[in-house]
A and B are shown apart, each in its own frame.
Chain A
Amino acid sequence: MSLDQDTIRRIARLARLGVDESENETYARSLSDIFAFVEQLNAVDTTGIEPMAHPLDARQRLRPDEVTESNQRDKFQKIAPRVEAGLYLVPRVIE
């Protein structure tokens, strides 16, 4: 499978990555190479093998429904770029 430049633009946009137009071709080639490498796995017969959801063969541990966290807003907001009235401020989102 090889990726074209439109696909590169699209996935860069979805991932919010700024990719310079001049680099598009390089990315398309590199990513296509990675795909080609991974595609070798298709040669393996996986009939009857249940797909893994996680590399560890273990089950999710559950925690009891208890409130264990206290309010640490001041601490968290100290490292935020902008806060006001207890809110985190971000560039205006226009709906």
Chain B
Amino acid sequence: MEWEVVIGLEIHAQLATRSKIFSGASTAYGAEPNTQACAVDLGLPGVLPVLNEKVVELAARFGLATHSTVARRSVFARKNYFYPDLPKGYQISQFELPIVHDGYIDIDLDDDTTRRIGITRAHLEEDAGKSLHEDFHGATGIDLNRAGTPLLEIVSEPDMRSAKEAVAYMKKIHALVRYLEICDGNMQEGSFRCDANVSVRPKGQEEFGTRTEIKNINSFRFVERAINYEVERQIDVLEAGGEIVQETRLYDADRDETRSMRSKEEANDYRYFPDPDLLPVILDDDFIEAVRKTLPELPDAKRERFMTQYSLSHRDAVILTGSREMASYFELVVEASGGEGRLAANWVTGELSGLLNREGIEIDESPVSAEHLGGLLKRIADNTISGKIAKQVFEAMCRGEGDADTVIEQKGLKQITDSGAIEKLVREVLDNNPKQVEQYRGGQEKLLGFFVGQVMKATQGKANPGEVNKILKRLLSGD
């Protein structure tokens, strides 16, 4: 039987605030345990949560950037469950009336097509603390620094049909929250993580199959692997005549499998009700319009602009707008090169990306600055050096040997464009290889490459290739 995969994602993005969602405790990462957990975060009796205005603004920014409705009225609710890292016995979240709902984003797929993924809702909530299960004399240690950290939970429609689409969606949301500066996107520190709802159904069937939820996936690679594993598992169960149990599963990256978390099943009745400690959040049009004015140029708009302004292909534009850092690096290169958009795109997506991948570093850690790369491209464009020599210069710049002009000067890499000098060299090459000249003239025109090679060898690659070709052809054609 042919199966269709149905995936929806719930992404938790930690909002970039200085203080917590309902208290004035710091949200800085990496502090000593419990030094940033105040009375409100600890849920001590008599405390009152007061909402941080910044989280409202950041959530609204997300809503506006995803064609969503930013609710004029939203309400906080208590989600009740017991766990030691949740001191109050409930998590303050939003249930019936979230701050953002009914939007979408378009994701870019490998075959250069796009697909629209619906965003059901995005609601504000507080994070829980952290349980440390290492052995503390048979006890569990609790660090509540993270308790009360503001999160935006972004819930998609079940619109994705493969693990690849889920990854593309997650990447797009990741890029978007960073463009919007609402979340630092740091997945290692847990600032951006996701749960995946996965089900399968026979192709053509309208009704959804029973789904499972895979919890707490914190990398793009794991999302793809976890979903693929889970899809295989579900199909195996169904084809063997079994039934899928609706449950929560955990992805184990070491074993590359998902496992049932039965312990959590029973608690799946959260008994939500409006939190009496908090009043409805009312937003007016002035507020929303003021937030709209703070929106930066968004990835899709930037991609369109890159395609027209720099004559880039769709694919290059997608790569170059993949992150805000990448896009601004590219534009700085273009500027420093004197407007060489396509050349800059080739180098940034080619040579530079290769280097970053090899070194395993991000573009803002690049050993070659955008100004230096732009300076190099300028010398290719004005024929000072050939593309081939440019790679040599690039490598020297990577090693920190200075900017392009310095390297070209020091290594004497300037291209020979003087046609008199080149002609002299070409004549020497022809004189030294009479046999090949005869063969060429006898019809073996592919020997042209041989002569070009000889000239290049004699000049250590510095002769202008166009010029060499032209002169060779002229002299060989019987002059």
Residue of B nearest to A68 (CB): B24
Query: Of B15-23, B238-246, B329-337, B386-394, which binds chain A?
Result: B15-23
In the complex, the answer to whether B142 meets A87 with C-beta atoms within 8 Å is yes
Residues on A with C-beta less than 8 A from B261 are 95
Residues on B with C-beta less than 8 A from A94 are 263
Check A38 for interface membership: any CB of B closer than 8 A.
Answer: no
Which of A53, A66, A69, A85 has most chain B Cβ within 10 Å?
A53
Residues 79-94 of chain A, each 1 if its beta carbon lies under 8 Å from chain B, else 0: 0001011111111111
In the complex, the answer to whether A65 meets B133 with C-beta atoms within 8 Å is no
Check B358 for interface membership: any CB of A closer than 8 A.
Answer: no
Check A14 for interface membership: any CB of B closer than 8 A.
Answer: yes
In the complex, the answer to whether A93 meets B19 with C-beta atoms within 8 Å is no
Q: Which listed residue (B35, B52, B282) contacts A73, Cβ 8 A?
A: B35
In the complex, the answer to whether B24 meets A60 with C-beta atoms within 8 Å is no
* Residues in B247-279 with C-beta less than 8 Å from chain A: 261, 263, 266-267, 269, 271, 274, 276, 278-279
Check A59 for interface membership: any CB of B closer than 8 A.
Answer: yes
A66-B280 contact in complex given A73-B35, A86-B32, A89-B140, C-beta closer than 8 Å:
no
In the complex, the answer to whether A90 meets B140 with C-beta atoms within 8 Å is yes
In the complex, the answer to whether A73 meets B34 with C-beta atoms within 8 Å is yes
* Residues in B1-53 with C-beta less than 8 Å from chain A: 17-19, 23-26, 32-39, 42, 44, 50-53
* Residues in A19-66 with C-beta less than 8 Å from chain B: 53-54, 56, 58-66
Residues 63-105 of chain B, each 1 if its beta carbon lies under 8 Å from chain A, else 0: 0000000000001000010111000000000000100000000
CB A17 to nearest CB in B, in angstroms, measures 11
In the complex, the answer to whether B97 meets A53 with C-beta atoms within 8 Å is yes
In the complex, the answer to whether B280 meets A77 with C-beta atoms within 8 Å is no
In the complex, the answer to whether B52 meets A76 with C-beta atoms within 8 Å is no
Check A78 for interface membership: any CB of B closer than 8 A.
Answer: no
Residues on B with C-beta less than 8 A from A66 are 18-19, 24
CA distance A69 to B167 in the complex (A): 39
Check A67 for interface membership: any CB of B closer than 8 A.
Answer: yes
Q: Which listed residue (A16, A62, A77) contacts B52, Cβ 8 A?
A: A62
Residue of A nearest to B82 (CB): A16
A89-B19 contact in complex given A73-B35, A76-B34, C-beta closer than 8 Å:
no
Main secondary structure of the interface of B (DSSP, over half): loop
Report the count of interface residues on A (CB-CB < 8 A).
Answer: 36
Q: Which listed residue (B34, B53, B131, B274) contacts A53, Cβ 8 A?
A: B274
CA distance A36 to B19 in the complex (A): 45
Residues on A with C-beta less than 8 A from B32 are 73, 86
In the complex, the answer to whether B133 meets A95 with C-beta atoms within 8 Å is yes
A62-B84 contact in complex given A67-B25, A87-B132, C-beta closer than 8 Å:
no
Report the count of interface residues on B (CB-CB < 8 A).
Answer: 55
A63-B53 contact in complex given A69-B26, A71-B36, A93-B140, C-beta closer than 8 Å:
yes
CA distance A87 to B134 in the complex (A): 12
Residues on A with C-beta less than 8 A from B282 are 59-60
In the complex, the answer to whether A59 meets B52 with C-beta atoms within 8 Å is no
Residues on B with C-beta less than 8 A from A86 are 32-35, 143
Check B281 for interface membership: any CB of A closer than 8 A.
Answer: yes
Check B476 for interface membership: any CB of A closer than 8 A.
Answer: no
CB B458 to nearest CB in A, in angstroms, measures 67
CA distance A89 to B54 in the complex (A): 33
CA distance A16 to B271 in the complex (A): 14
Q: Which listed residue (B141, B267, B274) contacts A85, Cβ 8 A?
A: B141
A93-B51 contact in complex given A59-B279, A67-B26, A76-B42, C-beta closer than 8 Å:
no
Residues on B with C-beta less than 8 A from A76 are 34, 37, 39, 42, 44
* Residues in B145-197 with C-beta less than 8 Å from chain A: none
In the complex, the answer to whether B279 meets A90 with C-beta atoms within 8 Å is no
Question: What are 30 of the A-B contact pairs (CB < 8 Å)?
Answer: A13-B266, A14-B271, A53-B279, A59-B280, A59-B282, A60-B51, A60-B280, A60-B281, A62-B52, A63-B24, A63-B52, A65-B18, A65-B19, A65-B52, A65-B53, A65-B54, A69-B25, A76-B37, A76-B42, A82-B139, A84-B139, A85-B136, A87-B132, A87-B136, A89-B142, A90-B84, A90-B139, A93-B83, A93-B131, A95-B263
Given A54-B279, A59-B279, list of 9 further CB < 8 A pairs? Answer: A54-B278, A61-B279, A63-B52, A69-B23, A76-B34, A86-B32, A87-B136, A88-B142, A89-B140
Top 9 nearest A-B pairs by Cβ distance? A68-B24, A87-B141, A65-B54, A62-B53, A86-B33, A69-B38, A59-B282, A89-B139, A60-B279
